[in-house]
Structure 1
Amino acid sequence: MSHDLDDTRPNLSRREWREKMASAEPIPATRAPFEGIVPLAGARPTAADAPANPITILTVCTGNICRSPMAEVLLRERLRDLGVRVHSAGTHALVGHAMTAQAQELALRLGATAADASAHAARYLVEPLLTESDLVITMAREHRSHAVQMMPSLLRRAFPVREFARLSSTLTTDEARAAADAAGSDPHARVQAVLRAVADQRGKAPADQSNDDVIDPYRRSAEVYQQSADELVPALDEVERVLRAALTP
């Protein structure tokens, strides 16, 4: 049987999955489950001049211990200078569990801070997290469907991360900035204008959706973890490019 979370989950109810996976990936014995962790650690800017209502990005996968926290900590570090808040959740999260050791190692190698990577504690995707998010970036199409079913108003601001990259690749930085400028100076309005421009590329960009998912590496080899990162990072490059265009007049 495959150990891929996404391969096994559809045959189980949420309760059955939670019971099945409760002890699947134990937190290392050297660390208490919530030792040193505060809610949304590192997610909100703490500087005195940090925005009171920051642009918020939510990354989503299944267990919230591999792909979405890797995307979270990498995007947070990349967008830190813009005061963007980035956090993550899982549709069937292993609540309270840390990032897997392999995911942490990759995240650090790719530029995340050790503090952010070690502070992660998995949590469920719930509606309030979606409500406060300007952009929801999912690791696979099924996660985007889950989020949109929870909140249909997310339709134009929720994207599988590789779909986002595929769509935004047809939108130049100047075009993205022009869309933002047309929305005025409010950061949230600017981001939403750019996201509409990205969504409008549907039908213009190549539509091979089979490549829109980031492979789930959970309980798999180092090679699969590397493949997952190799699929994720170029897509995050596009997210960063578009957000910078929106937030840098």
Structure 2
Amino acid sequence: MTPEIAAEADLVLTATRAHRADVVSLQPKALKYTFALADFAHLVDGIDEVPPAQTGFFGPADDSFIGRLVDHIGKRRTAIHPIAEDDADIVDPYRRPPEVFAQMAVHIDAVTPPVVRALTLE
């Protein structure tokens, strides 16, 4: 990840909240569209549609689908209780026993369906 990649992205999903903080420290403007995968899944869970872009204080909002989705779930952040730290971070299995790989796979399998569903609403 480089500051340039983070700046050009529409959405950045990370394995952990610490990774999210790393991305944002590289590119502060990425704060709005960078999420830990499990947090993103929690925020998009139950969304049935993505509202149209609205013109804001700084002019027209991003009218792309991802821009509208990020804007919508950004507003949901204040209305939804965040998930616990232990549930937010995907465990890193590097150089760890096979059981940790299995734990990682179970967690990713659990959070992937709402993400895929939300990203295919358009």
TM-score greater than 0.5 by the shorter chain: yes
Instruction: Tell me, yes or no, if structure 1 residue 153 matches structure 2 residue 29.
Output: yes
Aligned to 1:183: 53
Aligned to 2:84: 209
Cα deviations by residue, 1:73-130 (Å, 9 ceiling, x for unpaired): xxxxxxxxxxxxxxxxxxxxxxxxxxxxxxxxxxxxxxxxxxxxxxxxxxxx211221
Aligned to 1:172: 47
Could you say which structure has the larger radius of gyration? Answer: 1
Structure 2 Cα separation of the partners of residues 189 and 150 of structure 1 = 24
Long gaps (5+) in structure 2? 55-61
TM norm structure 2: 0.82
1:228 Cα offset (Å): 0.5
Structure 1 Cα separation of the partners of residues 53 and 65 of structure 2 = 5
Structure 2 Cα separation of the partners of residues 194 and 208 of structure 1 = 20
1:132 Cα offset (Å): 2.3
- Pairing partner for 1:230 from 101, 106, 117: 106
Which structure's relative contact order is higher, taking Cα pairs within 8 Å and 6+ residues apart? 2
Cα deviations by residue, 1:189-228 (Å, 9 ceiling, x for unpaired): 2211111111211132232331110011111111110110
TM norm structure 1: 0.43
Amino acid paired to 1:240: V
Q: Which has the higher helix share?
A: 2
Amino acid paired to 2:107: E
Aligned to 1:162: 38
Aligned residues between the structures: 114
Structure 1 Cα separation of the partners of residues 111 and 83 of structure 2 = 15
Aligned to 2:8: 132
* 8 Å CA contact 2:39, 2:83 repeated in 1: no
